[in-house]
Amino acid sequence: MERERRRTPRYMFFASAELLEERSEVRIATRVSELSRNGCYLDMMNPFPMHTVVRLKIWTEEHILIETKACVVYSQANRGAGLTFVDLDPKFLPLLDQWLAKAEKES
């Protein structure tokens, strides 16, 4: 059995997302299906390989936005990718905490 490696709880959370790999300028529209304080899981058919650093934007129906650098920590072809946030600007933490509180209530 694989040991749990997450530092914080992860919750089901649905939002739109966009990834930009800056070197190649490849942009992918996708969706978030799980969220934690340190990262998220994105549903996508052709995820970037592990260790790819991207610019990540996440927004909800209310058009509220979080933007940060992120790194692919695991990649599953035809399924999606797990990303960890890198240098998340503290100004986004209240919104992230609000999203997580809502997701925890709904779980």
Pairing of strands 65-76, 26-35: unpaired
pLDDT at 8: 79
- Average pLDDT over every residue of 73-96: 96
pLDDT at 2: 45
The reported pTM is 0.90
* Residue reference for tokens 């209310």: 62
CATH class belonging to 11-102? mainly beta
Pairing of strands 80-86, 11-21: unpaired
Q: Which two tokens stand for residue 87?
A: 């240098």
Judge residue 85's burial from the number of C-beta atoms within 10 Å of its C-beta, 0-12 exposed, 13-18 middle, 19 or more buried.
Answer: buried
Delimit the domains of the chain by residue range: 11-102
pLDDT digits (tens, 9 = 90+) for 27-72: 999 999 999 999 999 999 999 999 999 999 999 988 789 999 999 9
Residue type, 107: S
